[in-house]
Amino acid sequence: MMAVSAEVKEYQLLIDGKLVPSSSGETFEIYNPATNEVIGRVAKATREDVDRAVRAARRAFDEGPWGRMTPNERAKRLRRVAEIIRERQEELSRIETINSGKIIVESRADVANSANCFEYYANLTGQIWGETIPMNGPLFDYTVREPYGVCGQIVPWNFPILMAAWKIAPALAAGNTVVLKPASYTPITALLLGQICLEAGIPEGVVNIITGPGNEIGAALCEHPLVDKIAFTGETETGREILRLSAGTIKKVSLELGGKSPNIVFPDADLEEAVNGSLFAIFSNAGQRCTARTRLFLHRSIHDRFLADFVDKAGRIRLGDPLDDQTQMGPLVSPRQCQRVLHYVERAKSEGAVLRLGGKKPEAPALQRGNFVEPTVFDQVTQQMTIAREEVFGPVLSVIPFESEDEVVQLANDTIYGLGATIWTKDIKRAHRLASRIRAGNISINYPVINPPEAPFGGYKQSGIGRELSRHVLDLYTQVKNVVVGLSEEPFDWYGRWPAGR
């Protein structure tokens, strides 16, 4: 039986270290995607609340102790956040699963990775350094990296706590303050993470969490003159709007957007490993991941046997209660997402793709109330079809046969996106040749997909601007200040002569 939520909880905004209702008193409901029962009511922030949160973050940055703390003091608190997340691992994982539909095994991994992310950036607080620059004259020149100030951060629903951790941890490590807006479907763990930050000794106003409609309060955040930087993860279309909204105040903007990532299998690959890895690459998180390998390119010589094995295994994926340890795929986040995915299925059929598996909601009585869609495989897809071009964001795979390396490179790159790509081959030269020719930010060779905090993550083309994770993200949360010092004992005299050496 699918677990029934115990009680409907109320969640408030976190502004200036306090849990507060929306200024309008309004709330909105959130649901369990496995049953569509209401599990909570969340404060629906207004533009006025955004202003309060931004002003709190501004004060905390301009006057508060956060920016003046030593790197070690900041690190101690970020490390404490990681510890508390680990102490509350099971509770946070269950909440994540109940609110997002993500299977519990994946929620546990996301919660553990969120703790790892805070720990990783705790270790980097003391390593945000500048450079000294040799000058052509008696001058000493150095740079320092300084935080931007107030960062507006907007995240999607597919990895709720992890996306919040990826945003908050590096911003704080660099000394910024933040106002984070989680997705309206999945706000709970971000709100709890904000409270954990407080409990860990991060001062009031440094982390503010506001919940509400993206097109109102997300937009207000992008337009607010006291916000210095916007970091956004979500759809490419929303990313375009974020850029437009941020243009008025010339905000620094970083974007992590959609993908249509290729997964290429050559005949010399370990085919069993490639089948198993490819299943994970498309069906983990029910396909709701920006890095999902949604286009499977199979060399014609292995196409039939690879696909037979793949379809057989995909057909045995256990759909069910996401809280059950044995479940392998949960529901999609919402009925709307379900409809969107099924719409793409119909479109693919009408455009001539051959349905090999799924394409519908499962028939099991226990799954009827939830937003489940069966693992779905389309064969004989061509690059012209909508299913090969647009991001479906569900458990739907497009299989495209190919003959030659040049052909598959051309097909793989024939997309507006450039987030990830996977190559399965034992030919080391071919593997690196393709890694270089494919225009995407994250390539995996003989491995499906992984994004640990140590490695940079982000997209080419319309998949984004900037790199998250690793040391690279610190470039997104700091700006460079150049300082030049005159060393000459001779007085500066513009109308006299230049400083010696010029």
- Residue 215 binds ligand NAD, judged by CB under 6 A: yes
Residue 360 CA to residue 348 CA, distance in Å, equals 13
Beta-bridge mates of residue 354: 379
Judged by CB under 6 A, the stretch of 52-60, 92-100, 153-161, 420-428 that binds ligand NAD is 153-161
Judged by CB under 6 A, the stretch of 76-84, 141-149, 250-258, 490-498 that binds ligand NAD is 250-258
- Residue 154 binds ligand NAD, judged by CB under 6 A: yes
We find the least distance from the C-beta atom of residue 464 to ligand NAD, in angstroms, to be 6
Helix axes 160-173, 188-199, angle to 10 degrees: 30
Binding flags for ligand NAD, 163-192, as an x/- string (CB under 6 A): ------------------x-xx--------
Residue 157 or residue 344: which is nearer to ligand NAD going by CB?
157
- Residue 214 binds ligand NAD, judged by CB under 6 A: yes
- Residue 259 binds ligand NAD, judged by CB under 6 A: yes
Q: Which of 218, 331, 394, 466 binds ligand NAD (CB under 6 A)?
A: 218
We find the least distance from the C-beta atom of residue 92 to ligand NAD, in angstroms, to be 19
Q: Are 340 and 5 in contact (CB under 8 A)?
A: no
Give the long-range contacts of residues 441-445, CB within 8 A, separation 24 or more. Answer: 441/467, 442/291, 444/420
- Residue 161 binds ligand NAD, judged by CB under 6 A: no
Residue 274 or residue 387: which is nearer to ligand NAD going by CB?
387
Q: Which of 419, 421, 431, 438 binds ligand NAD (CB under 6 A)?
A: 419
We find the least distance from the C-beta atom of residue 249 to ligand NAD, in angstroms, to be 14
Radius of gyration of the chain (CA): 25
- Residue 156 binds ligand NAD, judged by CB under 6 A: yes
**Cα–Cα nearest to 208, from 92, 28, 43, 89:** 43
- Residue 339 binds ligand NAD, judged by CB under 6 A: no
- Residue 334 binds ligand NAD, judged by CB under 6 A: no
**Cα–Cα nearest to 66, from 486, 410, 445, 56:** 56
Q: Which of 54, 200, 219, 269 binds ligand NAD (CB under 6 A)?
A: 219
We find the least distance from the C-beta atom of residue 468 to ligand NAD, in angstroms, to be 7
Lookup: tokens for 283 = 């069906």
- Residue 390 binds ligand NAD, judged by CB under 6 A: no
Residue 466 CA to residue 488 CA, distance in Å, equals 40
Residue 183 or residue 307: which is nearer to ligand NAD going by CB?
183
Q: Which amino acid is at 137?
A: G
3-state helix, strand and coil shares in percent for the chain, rounded to the nearest 5? 40, 20, 40
Q: Which member of 96, 290, 374, 468 is catalytic?
A: 290
DSSP state of 498: P
Number of residues that bind ligand NAD (CB under 6 A): 29
- Residue 204 binds ligand NAD, judged by CB under 6 A: no
Q: Are 403 and 67 in contact (CB under 8 A)?
A: no
We find the least distance from the C-beta atom of residue 357 to ligand NAD, in angstroms, to be 23
Residue 288 CA to residue 337 CA, distance in Å, equals 10
Q: Are 250 and 244 in contact (CB under 8 A)?
A: no
Q: Which member of 204, 223, 256, 374 is catalytic?
A: 256
- Residue 114 binds ligand NAD, judged by CB under 6 A: no
Beta-bridge mates of residue 267: none
Q: Which of 258, 370, 375, 394 binds ligand NAD (CB under 6 A)?
A: 258
Catalytic status, residue 256: yes
- Residue 269 binds ligand NAD, judged by CB under 6 A: no
Subset of 230-249 contacting ligand NAD (CB under 6 A): 233-235, 238, 241-242
Catalytic status, residue 117: no
- Residue 263 binds ligand NAD, judged by CB under 6 A: no
Exposure b/e, 36-58, CB count within 10 A at least 16 = b: ebebbbbbbbbbebbebbbbbbb
Residue 81 CA to residue 88 CA, distance in Å, equals 11
Q: Which of 119, 256, 374, 379 binds ligand NAD (CB under 6 A)?
A: 256
What is the separation of C-alpha 167 from the centre of its chain, rounded to a whole number of angstroms? 9
Q: Classify 28 as helix, strand or coil.
A: strand
| Burial class of residue 373, CB neighbours in 10 A (0-12, 13-18, 19+) | buried
| Burial class of residue 316, CB neighbours in 10 A (0-12, 13-18, 19+) | exposed
In three-state form (DSSP H/G/I as H, E/B as E, the rest C), the secondary structure along 36-53 is CEEEEEEECCCHHHHHHH
Cα distances (angstroms) measured from residue 462 to each of 246, 372, 457: 17, 29, 14
Residue 259 or residue 359: which is nearer to ligand NAD going by CB?
259
Residue 352 CA to residue 409 CA, distance in Å, equals 23
Alpha helices of 386-454 — where are they, by DSSP H?
Answer: 386-389, 405-413, 428-437
Lookup: tokens for 299 = 């060399």
We find the least distance from the C-beta atom of residue 478 to ligand NAD, in angstroms, to be 20
Ordered strands of the 37-43 beta sheet: 9-11, 37-43, 27-32
We find the least distance from the C-beta atom of residue 393 to ligand NAD, in angstroms, to be 5
We find the least distance from the C-beta atom of residue 41 to ligand NAD, in angstroms, to be 17
Residue 162 or residue 408: which is nearer to ligand NAD going by CB?
162
Judged by CB under 6 A, the stretch of 191-199, 212-220, 369-377, 399-407 that binds ligand NAD is 212-220
- Residue 464 binds ligand NAD, judged by CB under 6 A: yes
* Site for ligand NAD, rule CB under 6 A: 154-158, 181, 183-184, 214-215, 218-219, 222, 233-235, 238, 241-242, 256-259, 290, 391, 393, 419, 459, 464
Enumerate the active-site residues.
Answer: 256, 290
